[in-house]
Amino acid sequence: MRRELKIIFICHGNICRSPMAESVCSAFAAERGMSDRISVSSAAARTDEIGSPPHRGTVEALARRGIPLIPHRARLLTREDGDKYDLLIGMDDANVRDILRIVGERNAGKVVKLLDFTDSPRPIADPWYTGDFDRTFEDISEGCRALLDRVEAADERGKKIRRT
């Protein structure tokens, strides 16, 4: 029997990109019949929004596409999360630096950017600044599809998940 893969998505404040990724990945996994193979969560790399609900733009972008928002309040990533999760997925280089600062070098091999799983690795722009939640949704969807493809391929080979 396969072990459940534990994934946590991390962005700056845990109100825009990471709760969107948590909701999108969960919905896509359910569509593929993979809900029993992965569990998803999200957290902040910084303290700015701790306790806040998801940004209205995130809520609206998900609703327009019929993707349920996972109930959520922003929380800070902890050192213990580094041990608890198999993949710690940031949205941009600043997130990755913050994740490594929090979880330490011993968990560095688990840290990756979401779009590193795609054929076009790049950061996901923060819609808090760009205002473009639809573009963020498209990037996150691309990354989550690629991530789930990798999980399926790794399961078939009996191997660990690898990025590009």
H-helix segments, 47-132: 56-64, 79-84, 93-103, 127-130
Strand partners for 40: 7
The question of whether 81 is a catalytic residue gets the answer no
Among 16, 17, 25, 150, which one carries the catalytic annotation?
A: 17
- Retrieve residue 8's tokens: 């946590």
Q: Yes or no: say if 48 and 13 are a contact pair by the CB < 8 Å rule.
A: yes
Coil, strand or helix at 7: strand
Among 11, 16, 25, 144, which one carries the catalytic annotation?
A: 11
- Retrieve residue 141's tokens: 């969807």
The question of whether 144 is a catalytic residue gets the answer no
Among 81, 98, 126, 139, which one carries the catalytic annotation?
A: 126
Q: Yes or no: say if 9 and 114 are a contact pair by the CB < 8 Å rule.
A: yes
The question of whether 11 is a catalytic residue gets the answer yes
Q: Yes or no: say if 11 and 91 are a contact pair by the CB < 8 Å rule.
A: yes
Instruction: Compute the C-alpha angle 110/112/117, nearest 5°.
Output: 115
Q: Which residues form the catalytic set?
A: 11, 17, 126
